[in-house]
Amino acid sequence: MDESERTLESQALDEHPEVREQVLATEGFQTWIDSLPKFELDGETLYLPTGDVPVDEDQLVYQWARTNGLLEGEGPEQPSAS
């Protein structure tokens, strides 16, 4: 996959591979991801954590890491409210 096709979350986790490893080893994360609806598209597994927006595993790892304080201040820029 071309770098431009990778999600910002994947790119952020590439800079912090230890965070990806830590999250993937977490029992709570595994339980959560196993409970999500998922499907295959072009050989990639996508998940539906909110029911309608498909995301890849790195996006879920990133979300878990941010929620649990493992990546504070890291990652994709958020649009400004102005």
Residues forming a β-bridge with 39: 46
Q: What is the pLDDT of residues 39-57, one digit of tens each?
A: 999 999 999 999 899 999 9
Q: What is the pLDDT of residues 23-33, one digit of tens each?
A: 999 999 999 99
Greater confidence (33 vs 81) lies with 33
Distance CA 53, CA 22 (A): 25
Of 70, 78, 80, 79, which Cα lies nearest the Cα of 15? Answer: 70
Burial 42-69 (b: 16+ CB within 10 A, else e): eeeebbebeeeebbbbbbbbbbbbbeee
Report helix, strand or coil for 78.
coil
